[in-house]
Structure 1
Amino acid sequence: MHIGILTLRISLPGCTSLKEKRQRMGGLHARFGRNPAVSVCESGDQERLESSEWSFVVVGAVRSKVESLCSEIEDKMQRTVDGRIMETSREFL
């Protein structure tokens, strides 16, 4: 069993309310949580308006599959989120 933890810190320039932040970051649970190998949560900056931190825990029997899924998540986040990814970290257990 291999576990990958992908953490993304996202800048949300011009965000003026928590409601706007939720709208801009909305749907992450629906987009990524459908996959039974992925768990997603807002792991930091919950009260900050202009940034958000999200963590994805990916589990699989083969490390290469876990790494590939982490890359897919990161690519999709860059294309779909209304913000800029400022920091990315990956950890494999």
Structure 2
Amino acid sequence: MHIAVLTLTISLPGCRSLKEKRQRMGGLHERFGRNPAVAVCESGEHDRLEASEWTFVVAATTLPKMESLCSEIEDKIQRGVDGRVMEVTREVL
């Protein structure tokens, strides 16, 4: 079993309310939480409207599959979130 912890910090320039922050993040929890190999949570930047931090725990039977899932998550967030990914950290356990 291979496990990775993927953390993304996202900048949300011009965000003025918690409601707008939630809309701009586009339901990441619902989208990625459906996959049984992925656990997701908003892990930081709770008090800042112009930033959000999300952590994904990805589990797979093979290293290439785990890497593929992590890359897929990064790509979907880059394309699907109204913000800029400022930092990505990936830790393989």
TM over 0.5: yes
Q: Provide structure 1 residue ranges, at least 5 long, that are not aligned to the other structure.
A: none
Residue correspondences, number: 93
- Show the counterpart of 2:49: 49
| CA RMSD between the two structures | 0.7
Offset of 1:28 from its aligned partner?
Answer: 0.6
Which runs of structure 2 are paired with 1:1-93 in the superposition (5 Å)?
A: 1-93=1-93
Q: Would you say the 8 A contact 2:6–2:90 is kept in 1?
A: yes
Which SS does the other structure have where 1:91 is aligned?
A: strand
Percent identity (aligned): 74
What TM-score results when the alignment is normalised by the length of structure 2? 0.97
Q: How far apart, in 1, do the equivalents of 2:16 and 2:86 lie?
A: 19
Offset of 1:26 from its aligned partner?
Answer: 3.1
What TM-score results when the alignment is normalised by the length of structure 1? 0.97
Q: How far apart, in 1, do the equivalents of 2:11 and 2:72 lie?
A: 20
Q: How far apart, in 2, do the equivalents of 1:53 and 1:27 lie?
A: 13
Q: How far apart, in 1, do the equivalents of 2:54 and 2:29 lie?
A: 10
